Amino acid sequence: MARPGFLKDWFVIRRDLPQGRRFALSIVSFLLPLVSWCVVSYVPWIWHPDVKIELSAEREGVTTVFTAGDHVSKGFFPEFVDAVKEENAAVMAAKEAGTPVTGAKRKNQKLLRQLAPLAIEEGWLPFGDTQNDVVLYHVWRDLATGAKVAGKPALTEENLAIVKQNWAMLSSLSPDFVFKQLPDESLLKLLPQGKPANPVYLPAPHEVLRTGMRDFSSDAPEGELTMMQRYKASLRIILMGFLWSCLIGIPLGILCGVFDFFSKLFEPFVDFFRYMPAPTFSTLLVAVLLAGDAPKIALVFIGTVFQMVLVVSKTTRLLDPALLEAAQTLGAKPRQMLTNVVIPGILPNLYNDLRILLGWAWTWLVIAELIGIKSGLTEFIETQGRFRNFDRVFPVIILIGVTGFVTDQFLSWLHGLLFPWAGKSNALSRGIAKVFTWPFRRIGAGLRQRAALMESSRLAATRNQTP
């Protein structure tokens, strides 16, 4: 039995939870959406408004062609099956009447390819090799003779009977695929098969995982980039755009935070410009920088640099004034105060600001890669989304999120090593701290030495004036 007030221990105002509970809640924060996704995908009575087609056939006189992987509504699927049954019945009736439908050699070749998705799922055919008629011809033979048994999906009794009936006609003409040896009479079409599914825009987790592993492990078609090459291209755009933003935004932000002159000179325009949506400059950037990666990098730069100036200037103004007053008392010049007091003093908070702004830069990736010549991960997302292949879109979206999250967590961990005085430290962090605090110790020693010399000079002058 839970002790009284157990739940209250989890809800204490302004008090951190124990480390174990914090870690458990972090795990649950990821599990909750995943469990919800699994429930919606795998529990049949929860939703499943569609039928995902696993085995399909073309219908005569209909322009819309549904193939394996397509989704149709539950109400339409029975109509689809009945329409194919009627076509098969017409073929059988014509054959029994002695007037079989002829001139169907090309249609029969396409009909053989109905089993391509099944053969790919079973591993009998390489992925994407849907027109390998030689292999598919033998798949028909093996299914008809029982040498192979389909399980992804399992063929219905009706379809298995159609396979045997078609193979009887095919094998009577040729044991191997030869286009000229295909029957001139129409073969029977396989009946559509499907299973209840979510809408096409919400594939099941196992479909996303399987498709993602396949896309990232398989070779790209000739003339296209692999997923890893796309990933590296996207990382380059983000990092280059953010690097240029840091090179300009950080110094300008520090100057605005230290000197009122720079603040009044730059901040009004920066504050005005940051309200202009960065994508509105895409056409101009392409015109100036052409259609390569340069305008994409520039868009990430525009999307982050103006916010960076304002954020860094505010962080600079939050520096403890006592540090500046102490440096002035010790005789530090403005340049020394800037390089040896202000910058070291704001480094821990500045580092955190850059972490946040790096996440902001990632939000511009999709828009940046769509301007000019589409490239990187975004080009893949846009192309596959247009064809409604959302099981190929989700892995890329998840990859972007994981990359950003892992990067942020690594930078957060690194913060404790680089700035041990701002948190817990260990031997390694203290060693790194000595490197980064060397300029501070040097200027401090210099100021103390100058103060000592000034005091010695004052005392010597006093002694000389004494009679």
* pLDDT tens-digit readout, 336-368: 888 888 998 899 999 999 999 999 899 899 899
Which domains occur in the chain, in start order? 50-197 (no CATH), 227-453 (1.10.3720.10)
Q: How many residues does the chain have?
A: 467
Q: What DSSP letter does each residue of 343-406 carry, written as one string?
A: HHHHHHHHHHHHHHHHHHHHHTHHHHTTSSS--HHHHHHHHHHHTT-HHHHHHHHHHHHHHHHH
Cβ atoms 216, 392 nearer than 8 A: no
CA distance 426 to 63: 69
Q: Hey, what are 287's tokens?
A: 């015109």
pLDDT above 50 (res 433): no
- The pLDDT confidence band at residue 429, using thresholds 50, 70 and 90, is very low
Contacts of 148 (CB under 8 A, 6+ apart): 122, 124, 139, 142
Cβ atoms 183, 169 nearer than 8 A: yes
pTM listed for this prediction = 0.78
Contacts of 371 (CB under 8 A, 6+ apart): 279, 282, 285, 286, 295, 296, 299
Over residues 399-422, the mean pLDDT reads: 86
H helices present in 259-281, as ranges: 260-273
Peptide bond into 153 cis (omega under 30): yes
Q: What is the pLDDT of residues 179-193, one digit of tens each?
A: 899 999 999 999 999
CA distance 68 to 194: 9
Contacts of 19 (CB under 8 A, 6+ apart): none
List residues bridging with 73 in a β-sheet: 50
How much of the chain, in percent, has pLDDT values that exceed 90?
A: 52
List residues bridging with 71 in a β-sheet: 52
Q: What is the pLDDT of residues 391-402, one digit of tens each?
A: 999 999 999 999
The pair phi, psi for residue 132, each rounded to 5°, is: -80, 80
The three-state secondary structure class of 55 is strand
Contacts of 401 (CB under 8 A, 6+ apart): none
Q: Which of 168, 200, 179, 221 is nearest to 67 (CA)?
A: 200
Cβ atoms 391, 203 nearer than 8 A: yes
- The pLDDT confidence band at residue 390, using thresholds 50, 70 and 90, is very high
pLDDT at residue 172 in the model: 92
pLDDT above 80 (res 442): no
Cβ atoms 40, 47 nearer than 8 A: yes
Regarding predicted confidence, which is higher, 56 or 437? 56
pLDDT at residue 368 in the model: 93
pLDDT above 80 (res 434): no
Task: Print burial letters for 440-461: b (CB count within 10 Å at least 16), e (below 16).
Answer: eeebeeebeeeeeeeeeeeeee
Q: Which of 317, 335, 351 is nearest to 422 (CA)?
A: 351
Q: Which of 57, 388, 371 is nearest to 199 (CA)?
A: 388
List residues bridging with 241 in a β-sheet: none
pLDDT at residue 466 in the model: 54
pLDDT at residue 12 in the model: 81
Give the count of beta carbons closer than 10 Å to the beta carbon of residue 251: 14
